[in-house]
Chains A and B, each alone.
Chain A
Amino acid sequence: MPDREERARFEEWVMPHFDAAFNLARWILRSRADAEDITQEAMLRAYRFFGNFRAGDARAWLLQIVRNCCYTFLQKNRPTEDVSEISEEFLKDDRGTPETLAIAAHEREQLAQALEKLPTAFREILVLRELEGCSYKEIAAITAKPIGTVMSALARARQQLRSGLTKPVAPVVKETRLEL
């Protein structure tokens, strides 16, 4: 358990990445409500094990913990959900010419829906790269994958997202939350 000094270090190094933690959890879990719980759990866990963190990339260290908590939660609470790791089969390329897209015309909602339809392993890599601005090296560290796998998965994820955006997106039931 950290002492006072450790606590100050934790607030200085780890707390600035609070939104990053929430954003990653929200996109892996596809739910703001679950992301709130998991962010809280992950921050507590990070605090407890902060003594093991010496120096380096605090954001990547925290996001690794967030990701682990998300996957544990999914296995326990949504066992039917596909959280399979990236396999060779997954990466098999059905390369086609890039569809011409009028993405500018797509609303945020459509982008979000297409992103949520991607397999979790692809979605998290896209979120880390495009929303969080992580480098390949950081993504590799956070997702515990070789850089080569990150690169091919990213290419594949973008391709799937593009084709998801060109097909009409079926309306999904929107998550409703009571604002108390």
Chain B
Amino acid sequence: MSCEQRTENLHAYLDGELDAAGTLQFERHLAGCAECGATLAAEQKLQKALQSGGLYENAPKGLRQRVVASLPALPEPKVRRAGEWRWAALAAACLVGAFLALQLFSDIGGRSRQSVVAAAVVDAHLRSLQPGHQTDVISTDQHTVKPWFDGKLEIAPPVRDFTADGFPLTGGRLDVIHGRTVAALVYGRRKHVVNVFVWKGGDEESLSGAGEQQGYHWMAWQKDGLNLVAVSDVSAEDLKALKDLFLKE
């Protein structure tokens, strides 16, 4: 590996963007190269500072409502006047742009098998984002959240707080997926919400692997006879990190 390649590999490694072979190759190099080790440590430090530095700025309260209120409500009959040709030209330009965007994104949309279970899980995640729907029990303490589920479900969901690893537990609730009551553990990831749905495994309602739907990533796994699915708008590698934390327990 040349020096040039190493720099980019180091960043791709830091961002979890190397494939398995690339990761292995880079880690092998890392083991014998103090310089790359020091660079990686410095980059990790910077990354951590940026991600946990409180830099994410949410929209001010009220802006969302103002925007929703300003959206035109109903279709209007089109009567084109001379002056509107400028808008027509703009619209045409935007169509071309949107077409190019579709080209870029079509491989994502076309590839995803719209699994029914995945769709139900993403729907449940979206519902949870509505105000007041996220948590029935609000607590960052796993010893408060875990007993809350007692007697409400036939399973005991694995409630763990991963604050030290960047996934603070914020609470839990009961949710319904396909008519089945499931546990939903709610985690924070930077300013994003991650739902981890848990239900009893061993039937047809299981999900495996990972995917993307409506701009949300999901990642599913099984452990101790339970089905677990994490859903969020964070990146796939963030979900992978959370899955690994659960599997490590």
Q: Which A residues are within 8 Å of any B CB, using their own CB?
A: 1-4, 7, 10-13, 15-23, 26-27, 32, 35-36, 39-40, 43-45, 47, 49, 52-61, 64, 68, 93, 95, 97-101, 103-104, 106, 108, 111-112, 115, 126, 129-131, 133-136, 138, 141, 151-152, 154-155, 158, 161-162, 165
Pick from A22, A97, A99, A161: contact of B63, CB below 8 A. Answer: A22
Q: Are A103 and B46 in contact (CB under 8 A)?
A: yes
* Interface 1/0 per residue, B59-73 and A, CB below 8 Å: 110011011101111
* Interface 1/0 per residue, B131-161 and A, CB below 8 Å: 0000000000000000000000000000000
How large, as a class, is the contact surface on chain B?
Answer: 35 or more
Pick from B7, B10, B104, B235: contact of A133, CB below 8 A. Answer: B235
In the complex, A13→B67 CA distance in Å? Answer: 15
Q: Are A130 and B17 in contact (CB under 8 A)?
A: no
In the complex, A29→B101 CA distance in Å? Answer: 23
Contacts of B176 in A (CB 8 A): none
Residue of B nearest to A10 (CB): B71
- Chain A CB within 8 A of B117 CB: no
Of B24-32, B186-194, B202-210, the stretch lying at the interface with chain A is B186-194
Pick from B50, B54, B60, B236: contact of A135, CB below 8 A. Answer: B236
In the complex, A165→B39 CA distance in Å? Answer: 16
Task: Report A47 CB to chain B, min CB distance, Å.
Answer: 5
Task: Report B46 CB to chain A, min CB distance, Å.
Answer: 6
In the complex, A100→B222 CA distance in Å? Answer: 42
Task: Report B225 CB to chain A, min CB distance, Å.
Answer: 31
Residue of B nearest to A127 (CB): B55
Residue of B nearest to A138 (CB): B235
Q: Are B109 and A56 in contact (CB under 8 A)?
A: yes
In the complex, A57→B106 CA distance in Å? Answer: 9
Identify whether the interface residues of B are mostly helix, strand, loop, or mixed. helix
- Chain A CB within 8 A of B85 CB: no
Q: Are B98 and A101 in contact (CB under 8 A)?
A: no
Q: Are B75 and A111 in contact (CB under 8 A)?
A: no
Contacts of B35 in A (CB 8 A): 97
Contacts of B17 in A (CB 8 A): 135-136
- Chain A CB within 8 A of B245 CB: no
Pick from B60, B75, B104: contact of A36, CB below 8 A. Answer: B60
Beyond known contacts A64-B101, A93-B7, A141-B104: 10 more, CB 8 A cutoff = A1-B72, A10-B71, A47-B71, A56-B108, A56-B109, A98-B39, A126-B50, A130-B50, A154-B11, A155-B8
In the complex, A58→B178 CA distance in Å? Answer: 25
